[in-house]
Protein backbone atom coordinates (compact mmCIF):
# COMPACT_ATOMS: atom_id res chain seq x y z
CA UNK A 1 0.00 0.00 0.00
CA UNK A 2 1.34 3.43 -0.94
CA UNK A 3 0.00 6.96 -1.24
CA UNK A 4 -0.43 8.47 -4.72
CA UNK A 5 -1.33 12.01 -5.67
CA UNK A 6 -4.95 10.85 -5.90
CA UNK A 7 -5.29 8.61 -2.88
CA UNK A 8 -4.30 5.18 -1.61
CA UNK A 9 -3.03 2.47 -3.91
CA UNK A 10 -3.54 -0.99 -2.40
CA UNK A 11 -2.05 -4.05 -4.07
CA UNK A 12 -2.99 -7.65 -3.31
CA UNK A 13 -1.84 -10.88 -4.91
CA UNK A 14 -4.33 -10.68 -7.77
CA UNK A 15 -5.61 -7.13 -7.90
CA UNK A 16 -4.72 -3.50 -7.36
CA UNK A 17 -7.22 -1.11 -5.80
CA UNK A 18 -7.03 2.69 -5.79
CA UNK A 19 -9.13 4.64 -3.35
CA UNK A 20 -9.50 8.24 -4.55
CA UNK A 21 -9.54 10.96 -1.94
CA UNK A 22 -9.03 14.10 -4.03
CA UNK A 23 -12.70 15.14 -3.94
CA UNK A 24 -13.53 15.07 -0.26
CA UNK A 25 -16.77 16.99 -0.77
CA UNK A 26 -18.06 14.41 -3.26
CA UNK A 27 -17.36 10.95 -1.83
CA UNK A 28 -17.79 8.05 -4.21
CA UNK A 29 -19.78 6.13 -1.58
CA UNK A 30 -21.72 7.90 1.15
CA UNK A 31 -20.65 7.31 4.74
CA UNK A 32 -18.19 4.48 3.97
CA UNK A 33 -16.18 3.67 7.09
CA UNK A 34 -13.28 1.39 7.92
CA UNK A 35 -13.09 -0.17 11.41
CA UNK A 36 -9.80 0.05 13.27
CA UNK A 37 -8.46 -3.45 13.88
CA UNK A 38 -6.97 -2.31 17.22
CA UNK A 39 -9.75 -0.39 18.99
CA UNK A 40 -12.74 -0.95 16.69
CA UNK A 41 -13.41 2.74 16.07
CA UNK A 42 -15.04 3.45 12.70
CA UNK A 43 -12.97 5.80 10.55
CA UNK A 44 -13.78 7.46 7.22
CA UNK A 45 -12.76 5.36 4.23
CA UNK A 46 -9.83 7.64 3.31
CA UNK A 47 -8.25 7.55 6.80
CA UNK A 48 -4.65 6.40 7.09
CA UNK A 49 -4.47 6.48 10.89
CA UNK A 50 -7.22 5.81 13.44
CA UNK A 51 -8.72 9.01 14.80
CA UNK A 52 -9.13 7.39 18.24
CA UNK A 53 -5.95 5.38 18.99
CA UNK A 54 -3.68 6.82 16.26
CA UNK A 55 -2.58 3.44 14.94
CA UNK A 56 -2.39 2.80 11.18
CA UNK A 57 -5.56 1.56 9.47
CA UNK A 58 -5.23 -1.92 8.04
CA UNK A 59 -7.17 -2.48 4.85
CA UNK A 60 -8.25 -6.01 4.06
CA UNK A 61 -9.21 -5.69 0.41
CA UNK A 62 -8.02 -9.09 -0.73
CA UNK A 63 -10.54 -11.04 -2.82
CA UNK A 64 -12.72 -13.27 -0.64
CA UNK A 65 -12.19 -16.98 -0.79
CA UNK A 66 -15.00 -18.20 -3.00
CA UNK A 67 -14.82 -21.63 -1.36
CA UNK A 68 -16.06 -20.08 1.87
CA UNK A 69 -18.98 -18.31 0.27
CA UNK A 70 -22.30 -20.08 0.27
CA UNK A 71 -23.27 -20.27 -3.38
CA UNK A 72 -26.83 -19.93 -4.52
CA UNK A 73 -26.88 -23.59 -5.54
CA UNK A 74 -26.01 -24.55 -1.93
CA UNK A 75 -29.17 -22.97 -0.54
CA UNK A 76 -32.06 -25.37 -0.83
CA UNK A 77 -35.32 -26.33 0.87
CA UNK A 78 -34.86 -29.08 3.50
CA UNK A 79 -38.14 -30.65 2.30
CA UNK A 80 -38.14 -30.68 -1.50
CA UNK A 81 -34.43 -29.75 -2.05
CA UNK A 82 -35.52 -26.94 -4.39
CA UNK A 83 -33.02 -24.09 -4.78
CA UNK A 84 -33.79 -20.88 -2.90
CA UNK A 85 -33.02 -17.38 -4.17
CA UNK A 86 -31.74 -16.22 -0.77
CA UNK A 87 -30.95 -17.91 2.51
CA UNK A 88 -33.86 -17.43 4.98
CA UNK A 89 -33.02 -15.67 8.23
CA UNK A 90 -36.20 -16.79 9.97
CA UNK A 91 -39.23 -19.05 9.46
CA UNK A 92 -40.27 -18.88 5.82
CA UNK A 93 -42.51 -20.79 3.44
CA UNK A 94 -40.75 -22.61 0.59
CA UNK A 95 -41.77 -21.14 -2.81
CA UNK A 96 -41.72 -24.64 -4.32
CA UNK A 97 -43.39 -27.06 -1.89
CA UNK A 98 -45.06 -24.43 0.34
CA UNK A 99 -43.76 -26.07 3.54
CA UNK A 100 -42.42 -23.87 6.31
CA UNK A 101 -38.62 -23.75 6.50
CA UNK A 102 -37.15 -23.20 9.97
CA UNK A 103 -33.79 -21.65 10.86
CA UNK A 104 -31.99 -23.13 13.85
CA UNK A 105 -28.47 -23.36 15.26
CA UNK A 106 -26.94 -26.83 15.05
CA UNK A 107 -25.69 -28.07 18.47
CA UNK A 108 -22.74 -29.87 16.85
CA UNK A 109 -21.45 -27.15 14.49
CA UNK A 110 -22.94 -24.01 16.12
CA UNK A 111 -23.88 -22.92 12.58
CA UNK A 112 -27.26 -21.75 11.29
CA UNK A 113 -29.05 -24.51 9.36
CA UNK A 114 -32.33 -24.80 7.44
CA UNK A 115 -34.48 -27.59 8.86
CA UNK A 116 -37.93 -29.16 8.71
CA UNK A 117 -40.51 -28.94 11.48
CA UNK A 118 -39.60 -32.48 12.60
CA UNK A 119 -35.89 -31.61 12.67
CA UNK A 120 -36.68 -28.57 14.83
CA UNK A 121 -37.86 -30.92 17.60
CA UNK A 122 -34.74 -33.06 17.24
CA UNK A 123 -32.48 -30.01 17.53
CA UNK A 124 -34.42 -28.71 20.53
CA UNK A 125 -33.99 -32.10 22.22
CA UNK A 126 -30.24 -31.97 21.53
CA UNK A 127 -29.98 -28.50 23.05
CA UNK A 128 -32.08 -29.62 26.01
CA UNK A 129 -29.70 -32.54 26.55
CA UNK A 130 -26.70 -30.18 26.47
CA UNK A 131 -28.42 -27.86 28.96
CA UNK A 132 -29.25 -30.78 31.28
CA UNK A 133 -25.68 -32.05 31.04
CA UNK A 134 -24.20 -28.64 31.89
CA UNK A 135 -26.61 -28.15 34.79
CA UNK A 136 -25.73 -31.58 36.15
CA UNK A 137 -22.00 -30.90 35.86
CA UNK A 138 -22.45 -27.67 37.82
CA UNK A 139 -24.05 -29.72 40.61
CA UNK A 140 -21.20 -32.23 40.46
CA UNK A 141 -18.67 -29.43 40.95
CA UNK A 142 -19.85 -29.36 44.57
CA UNK A 143 -18.45 -32.88 44.94
CA UNK A 144 -15.12 -32.04 43.29
CA UNK A 145 -16.08 -33.33 39.83
CA UNK A 146 -14.84 -31.10 36.99
CA UNK A 147 -15.36 -31.07 33.23
CA UNK A 148 -11.98 -32.78 32.92
CA UNK A 149 -13.15 -35.53 35.30
CA UNK A 150 -16.22 -36.02 33.13
CA UNK A 151 -14.13 -36.36 29.96
CA UNK A 152 -11.73 -38.79 31.63
CA UNK A 153 -14.62 -40.97 32.80
CA UNK A 154 -16.19 -40.87 29.34
CA UNK A 155 -12.91 -42.00 27.79
CA UNK A 156 -12.56 -44.75 30.39
CA UNK A 157 -16.05 -46.12 29.68
CA UNK A 158 -15.41 -45.87 25.95
CA UNK A 159 -12.27 -48.00 26.23
CA UNK A 160 -14.01 -50.58 28.41
CA UNK A 161 -17.05 -50.99 26.16
CA UNK A 162 -15.41 -50.25 22.79
CA UNK A 163 -18.23 -47.82 22.06
CA UNK A 164 -18.94 -44.14 22.64
CA UNK A 165 -21.13 -43.73 25.78
CA UNK A 166 -23.77 -41.01 25.89
CA UNK A 167 -23.59 -38.24 28.47
CA UNK A 168 -26.34 -39.79 30.60
CA UNK A 169 -24.37 -43.02 31.04
CA UNK A 170 -21.23 -41.11 32.03
CA UNK A 171 -23.02 -38.86 34.52
CA UNK A 172 -24.84 -41.78 36.16
CA UNK A 173 -21.52 -43.62 36.45
CA UNK A 174 -19.98 -40.64 38.25
CA UNK A 175 -22.97 -40.33 40.58
CA UNK A 176 -22.81 -44.07 41.35
CA UNK A 177 -19.19 -43.67 42.45
CA UNK A 178 -20.18 -40.82 44.74
CA UNK A 179 -22.90 -42.97 46.33
CA UNK A 180 -20.48 -45.86 46.89
CA UNK A 181 -17.93 -43.59 48.55
CA UNK A 182 -20.39 -41.70 50.77
CA UNK A 183 -21.85 -42.72 54.12
CA UNK A 184 -23.40 -39.40 55.15
CA UNK A 185 -27.19 -39.80 54.92
CA UNK A 186 -27.87 -36.12 54.23
CA UNK A 187 -25.36 -36.17 51.38
CA UNK A 188 -26.84 -39.40 50.00
CA UNK A 189 -30.28 -37.83 50.13
CA UNK A 190 -29.10 -34.88 48.02
CA UNK A 191 -27.10 -37.01 45.56
CA UNK A 192 -30.06 -39.30 44.87
CA UNK A 193 -32.41 -36.34 44.58
CA UNK A 194 -30.10 -34.72 42.00
CA UNK A 195 -29.93 -37.98 40.04
CA UNK A 196 -33.74 -38.18 40.10
CA UNK A 197 -33.99 -34.62 38.76
CA UNK A 198 -31.51 -35.42 36.00
CA UNK A 199 -33.31 -38.61 34.97
CA UNK A 200 -36.62 -36.76 34.89
CA UNK A 201 -35.13 -34.01 32.73
CA UNK A 202 -33.97 -36.71 30.31
CA UNK A 203 -37.44 -38.25 30.17
CA UNK A 204 -36.43 -41.37 32.10
CA UNK A 205 -38.10 -43.11 35.00
CA UNK A 206 -36.72 -41.59 38.19
CA UNK A 207 -38.96 -43.22 40.82
CA UNK A 208 -36.54 -45.76 42.35
CA UNK A 209 -33.78 -43.16 42.72
CA UNK A 210 -36.23 -40.66 44.23
CA UNK A 211 -37.26 -43.37 46.73
CA UNK A 212 -33.60 -43.83 47.70
CA UNK A 213 -33.46 -40.11 48.47
CA UNK A 214 -36.52 -40.36 50.74
CA UNK A 215 -35.12 -43.50 52.35
CA UNK A 216 -31.88 -41.67 53.25
CA UNK A 217 -33.99 -38.86 54.72
CA UNK A 218 -35.98 -41.28 56.91
CA UNK A 219 -32.85 -43.11 58.07
CA UNK A 220 -31.31 -39.77 59.02
CA UNK A 221 -34.31 -38.97 61.23
CA UNK A 222 -34.28 -42.49 62.66
CA UNK A 223 -30.61 -42.08 63.67
CA UNK A 224 -31.57 -38.85 65.45
CA UNK A 225 -34.15 -40.75 67.49
CA UNK A 226 -37.17 -39.34 65.66
CA UNK A 227 -40.09 -41.77 65.87
CA UNK A 228 -42.68 -40.07 63.65
CA UNK A 229 -42.64 -37.96 60.50
CA UNK A 230 -45.23 -35.78 58.77
CA UNK A 231 -45.60 -35.54 55.00
CA UNK A 232 -45.24 -32.02 53.70
CA UNK A 233 -46.32 -30.87 50.24
CA UNK A 234 -45.62 -27.73 48.19
CA UNK A 235 -48.98 -26.20 49.00
CA UNK A 236 -51.18 -25.03 46.14
CA UNK A 237 -48.52 -26.10 43.62
CA UNK A 238 -48.93 -29.75 44.60
CA UNK A 239 -50.96 -32.04 42.34
CA UNK A 240 -54.25 -33.48 43.57
CA UNK A 241 -52.70 -36.85 44.38
CA UNK A 242 -49.97 -35.29 46.50
CA UNK A 243 -52.48 -33.07 48.31
CA UNK A 244 -54.12 -36.24 49.63
CA UNK A 245 -50.89 -37.01 51.51
CA UNK A 246 -50.62 -33.57 53.09
CA UNK A 247 -50.02 -33.61 56.87
CA UNK A 248 -50.35 -37.39 57.14
CA UNK A 249 -48.26 -38.77 59.99
CA UNK A 250 -46.32 -42.05 59.88
CA UNK A 251 -44.01 -43.88 62.21
CA UNK A 252 -40.53 -43.80 60.67
CA UNK A 253 -40.42 -47.61 60.57
CA UNK A 254 -43.77 -47.71 58.74
CA UNK A 255 -42.72 -45.02 56.28
CA UNK A 256 -39.56 -47.00 55.48
CA UNK A 257 -41.70 -50.01 54.72
CA UNK A 258 -44.46 -48.49 52.57
CA UNK A 259 -42.58 -45.45 51.20
CA UNK A 260 -45.52 -43.03 50.75
CA UNK A 261 -43.07 -40.41 49.46
CA UNK A 262 -42.48 -39.94 46.62
CA UNK A 263 -46.10 -40.21 45.53
CA UNK A 264 -46.18 -42.83 42.78
CA UNK A 265 -49.20 -41.13 41.18
CA UNK A 266 -47.79 -37.61 41.19
CA UNK A 267 -49.07 -35.67 38.18
CA UNK A 268 -46.86 -32.59 38.48
CA UNK A 269 -44.91 -32.14 35.24
CA UNK A 270 -41.47 -30.77 35.94
CA UNK A 271 -39.49 -31.50 32.78
CA UNK A 272 -41.58 -33.85 30.64
CA UNK A 273 -45.06 -35.23 30.11
CA UNK A 274 -44.21 -38.90 30.70
CA UNK A 275 -43.29 -38.79 34.39
CA UNK A 276 -44.64 -36.57 37.12
CA UNK A 277 -42.07 -35.40 39.66
CA UNK A 278 -43.09 -35.61 43.30
CA UNK A 279 -41.69 -32.82 45.49
CA UNK A 280 -43.19 -33.99 48.79
CA UNK A 281 -40.86 -34.46 51.76
CA UNK A 282 -40.85 -35.50 55.42
CA UNK A 283 -40.78 -33.32 58.48
CA UNK A 284 -39.91 -34.76 61.91
CA UNK A 285 -42.63 -34.91 64.58
CA UNK A 286 -41.19 -34.63 68.07
Cα–Cα dist 283/262, whole Å: 14
Residue 99 confidence (pLDDT): 97
How many degrees, rounded to 5, is the angle at CA 206 between CA 204 and CA 208?
Answer: 135
Residue 43: is its pLDDT beyond 90?
no
**Percent of the chain as helix, strand, coil, to the nearest 5:** 40, 15, 45
Beta carbons of 208 and 262 less than 8 angstroms apart? no
- The domain ranges of the chain are 1-63, 70-115
* Cβ neighbours of residue 259 closer than 8 Å, sequence gap 6 or more: 211, 214, 215
pLDDT-derived band at 26, boundaries 50, 70, 90: very low
Tens of pLDDT, residue by residue over 125-136, are 999 999 999 999
Buried b (16+ CB within 10 A) or exposed e, 236-251: eebbebbeebeeeebe
Please report the beta strands in 161-264, taking only residues with DSSP state E, as ranges in sequence order: 228-232, 249-251
Please report the beta strands in 118-187, taking only residues with DSSP state E, as ranges in sequence order: none
Residue 68: is its pLDDT beyond 60?
no
Chain CA centroid to CA 7, Å = 50
Residue 165: is its pLDDT beyond 70?
yes
How many degrees, rounded to 5, is the angle at CA 185 between CA 214 and CA 265?
Answer: 10
SS3 166: coil
Q: What is the DSSP string of 3-37?
A: E-SSEEEEE-SS-EEEEE-S-TTS-SSTT-EEE-T
Least confident residue range of 13-22, 32-41, 70-79, 187-196: 13-22
Rounded to two decimals, what is the model's pTM? 0.67
Return the DSSP state at 39.
T
Amino acid sequence: MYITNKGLNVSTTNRTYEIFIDKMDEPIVDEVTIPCTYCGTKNLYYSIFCQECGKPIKLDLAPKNEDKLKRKSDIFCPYCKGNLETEPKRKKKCPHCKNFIYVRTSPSTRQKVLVTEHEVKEIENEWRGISNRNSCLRNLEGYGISERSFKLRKNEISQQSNSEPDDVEVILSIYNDLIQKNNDLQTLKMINYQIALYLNSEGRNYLKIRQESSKAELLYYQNLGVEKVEIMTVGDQACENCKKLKNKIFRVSDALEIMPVPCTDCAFQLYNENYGFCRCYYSPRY
